[in-house]
Chains A and B, each alone.
Chain A
Amino acid sequence: DAMVIQNPRYQVTQFGKPVTLSCSQTLNHNVMYWYQQKSSQAPKLLFHYYDKDFNNEADTPDNFQSRRPNTSFCFLDIRSPGLGDAAMYLCATSQRAGGTGELFFGEGSRLTVL
C-alpha cells in the first residue's frame, strides 16, 4: 500500500495560472519535504516542515509556498508558474529523532507549463 501519496500525478497549467500539488502520508512522520527535480538533474530541496515549523531553503523562489494543515497533509502552491517551473515535484517524509533518517518518497507530480 502506498504510504506517501501525491496528487495529481500529472498537472498541466498555463503560464501564470496558479497550481496546487498535494501530498498525504499514512506513516505519521513528523517531517515532510518538497523537492523539485528537473529533467536529468538531482532532486533539489525547496522546503521542509518539522511538525508545524516551516523551513525554507535560501534559494527557493518566492513563487513557491507550502502549507501543512495537519500531520498527514502537505501542499505545494506555485503562485505564478513560469516555463522554468516545469519539473517533477517530489514529496517525502521522515521521522526525526532516532532511526536511519530514511526518506520515504511519493511517486511525484509532473508539472507541465504551457
Chain B
Amino acid sequence: GEDVEQSLFLSVREGDSSVINCTYTDSSSTYLYWYKQEPGAGLQLLTYIFSNMDMKQDQRLTVLLNKKDKHLSLRIADTQTGDSAIYFCAEMDTDKLIFGTGTRLQVFP
C-alpha cells in the first residue's frame, strides 16, 4: 500500500523559517496537499501542488516538489506562534486521500 512519511517533530523560533518534509510513494498522484490541524479540530487545507509543477508559492508558504525523489516540502516563512499545529502532507489515490504521519510544529518566542 501507499506510505507517506514525515518527521514527527519540528521546533522553531518565532520569525524563523520552518521546513516540513514529506516522502510519498504513489508517483501517479495528480495533486499533493498540505493540511494543517490545530488541537481538537478538523483538518484545514493549506495549499496543494499539481504534479507537473516543481514549486508553488502562496504568501508565506512555499511548496517544493521533487518528483524524481518523490519528495515534497512545505516552507513557512516568518513562522508565528499561530502556526503551531500538526501538518499533514497527503496524496490522492483514486478519490482517497492518503495522509502522512504528521509533523508537529512548535513555535517558541
**A residues lining the B interface (CB < 8 Å):** 4, 6, 31, 33, 40-43, 45, 48, 50, 55, 90, 92, 94, 96, 100-108, 110
Chain B: how many interface residues by the 8 Å CB criterion? 22
Q: Can you name the residue of chain A whose Cβ is closest to the Cβ of B29?
A: A101
Tell me whether B42 and A103 are in contact (CB under 8 A).
no
* Distance between Cα atoms of A81 and B97 in the complex (Å): 25
Q: Are B48 and A42 in contact (CB under 8 A)?
A: no
Kindly list chain B residues whose C-beta atoms are within 8 Å of the C-beta of A50.
95
Contacts of B100 in A (CB 8 A): 42
**Which residues of B are in contact with A by a Cβ distance under 8 Å?**
4, 30-31, 33, 40-45, 48, 50, 88, 92, 95-102
Minimum distance in angstroms from B62 CB to a CB of chain A: 18
- Give 14 new A-B contacts, CB below 8 A, not counting A33-B96, A100-B31, A102-B48: A6-B42, A41-B101, A42-B4, A42-B99, A43-B99, A45-B97, A55-B95, A92-B97, A94-B95, A96-B95, A101-B31, A102-B33, A103-B45, A108-B40
Which chain B residues border A100 with CB–CB below 8 Å?
31, 48, 50
Contact A42 B102 (CB under 8 A): yes
